[in-house]
Amino acid sequence: MTQLLEVSGLTKRFGGLVAVKDMHVSIASGEILGLIGPNGSGKSTVMKLIMGIEKPNTGSVLIDGVEVAGWPSHKIARQGVGIVFQHSRPLHRQTVLENIKLALLPDSLLQLFAAAHIDERAREIAARVHLDHVMDRLPGTLPFADLRRLELARAIARNPKVVLVDEPFAGLTAPEVADFSNLIASFRTDGHAVLLVDHNVRGVAALVDRVQAMYLGEHITEGSAEQVMANETVRRVYLGGSLTHAARRAPDAASTDDLLKVSHVSVFYGKAQALDAVSLHVRRGEFVSVVGLNGAGKTTLFNAISGLVPMQGQVNFGGQSLDGQTGAQIARAGIVQCPESRELFGEMSVRENLDLGGHHLPRTEAAERLEWLLDLFPILRARATQAARTLSGGEQQMLTIARALMMKPKLLILDEPTLGLAPVILEQLSKALEILRQTTDITVLLGEQNVTFALPHADRVYVLEHGRFIWEGPPDRFATEAGAQFL
């Protein structure tokens, strides 16, 4: 088979950061390659380098034997590369049919209007991607899945040799995923070479011919979907290492009551569905972990519980509905969230950030609480007068958790607390959580990509994928029942 895409020695640096290092990719005519890796591994950068959106520092990109590395993106497109973006970018003042016709026009100022055959071809493409019933509508009136179909239609119109598809199934329902898989598979039938970028191998396993995994900008392994899923390095990258779990506490009488109950909650961002009728419950005093890859919907779930995003469905806390309550009211009721972005007051000192968390407490109680937290996180005592922005990432994370605990929450929500932290800091956070678990009656809902951090601190585990829970159970069953699904 003819190799339509050949990438070798591709390297990209952003200052001192090496985002892509010596990458090699080759795709033949009629082949679909899945490029996978966790968030931040360099997948999107590779795609941008091939398309000319970013320029490589070194390396070669051959499109059907022609060197295009460093070319501007419009010239690479003319050479035969098409891209299907994760976020649709239509011309909003033109109809669906007009968007497709514009993609069909030749790259020449000598022809500004579509010939009759272009109109006919545009209608054929619209029918192929199931847009024939909305051809006269503007993009802004379309549902999310139809906007994604329009992206595919515009790529088909250019008849590219190489098609780059970024996160094709993000925000789609299960039936829509099946439909999109068939449409992408049609590129293979037409003899195109397809590079499909996604977070996990399981989501693309049935569609791709080969899978290539990368991490921190470098190639890990390549092979069939089954081979890549079984690879120990891939499992360690995604799961974080060996899976362990701590002995769970015997449930007491209070723990049989649900402190938090989420029922059929759905969240949309515009037309993209981030959560699809999810339900979960957390008992009093229980530690529950929600694990999922980046983009699975963990933060959206937590923001829905905290009253920070509009939602459909029901959230009950302590037996009372939270419907209509503001984020501030929900926090005062006892649900306190530590956001992934931390949201510290950078110019204020460590002590001032902590004092803000306990400003509602009587002075004596606040002082006692502060001392307890400084014992829990000793480094914060040493940094008490230091501005929060000058702390290391790990110290900022400890301060974020400590500030939340100053509010004396009934339910503490931790969103990706380990993101970007060194192993020594992870160990300190792990010890602090275990102290909370063994010495307090606090209830914790933890969201994590790092499974090896999430499992030891869990009485129960939920696995979230594409806005839906696909597994729930105790941590000691995760490895055998859900470990492969997490890939």
pLDDT tens digits along 48-87: 999 999 999 999 999 999 999 999 998 998 899 988 877 7
pLDDT at 221 over 70: yes
Q: What is the pLDDT of residues 306-323, one digit of tens each?
A: 999 999 999 999 999 999
Write the pLDDT tens digit of every residue in 438-477. Answer: 888 899 999 988 887 888 888 999 999 888 999 999 888 8
Residue 56 token pair = 């490589």
Percent of the chain topping pLDDT 90: 33
Relative to beta strand 460-465, strand 468-473 is antiparallel
How many helices (DSSP H) and strands (DSSP E) are in the chain?
Answer: 18, 20
Q: To the nearest whole number, what is the mean pLDDT of the chain?
A: 85
Comparing CA positions, the residue from 46, 62, 69, 33 lying closest to residue 193 is 33
What structural domains does the chain harbor? Answer: 3-239 (3.40.50.300), 254-486 (3.40.50.300)
The pLDDT value recorded for residue 339 is 86
Q: What are phi and psi of 190, to 5 degrees?
A: -80, 0
The dihedral sign for the CA sequence 141, 270, 295, 472:
negative
String of DSSP letters for 71-125: --HHHHHHHTEEEE-SS----TTS-HHHHHHHHHS-S-TT--S--HHHHHHHHHH
C-alpha 240/C-alpha 199 separation (Å) is 15
Helical (H) or strand (E) element with 282: strand 272-283
pLDDT (average), residues 270-291:
90
pLDDT at residue 451, as a whole number: 83
The 10 Å CB-count burial string (b at 16+, else e) for 87-99 is ebebeeeebbbbb
Rounded to the nearest 10 degrees, what angle do helices 96-104 and 116-128 cross at?
120
In terms of C-beta density within 10 A (0-12 exposed, 13-18 middle, 19 or more buried), how is residue 218 classed? middle
Q: Which residues pair with 3 in a beta bridge?
A: 28
Span 108-137, pLDDT tens digits: 444 445 566 788 888 888 898 889 889 889
**What integer pLDDT is reported at residue 240 of this predicted model?**
54
pLDDT of amino acid 26: 94
Residue, of 6 and 186, whose pLDDT is higher:
6
Average pLDDT over every residue of 92-101? 87
Measure CA of the first residue to CA of the last residue in the chain; give whole Å. Answer: 30
DSSP labels, 190-259:
TT-EEEEEES-STTTTTT-SEEEEEETTEEEEEE-HHHHHH-HHHHHHHH-SS---PPPPPP-SGGGSEE
| Percent over 70 (pLDDT), the chain | 90
Q: Report yes or no: 332 and 326 within 8 Å, Cβ to Cβ.
A: no
Instruction: Write the CB contacts of 96 (distance below 8 Å, at least 6 apart in sequence).
Output: 126, 131, 134, 135, 136, 137, 138, 139, 142, 146, 150, 153
- Asked if residue 296 has pLDDT above 90, the reply is no
Q: What is the mean pLDDT of residues 352-374?
A: 88
Question: Is the pLDDT score of 357 beyond 80?
Answer: yes
Q: In this predicted structure, what is the pLDDT of residue 476? A: 82
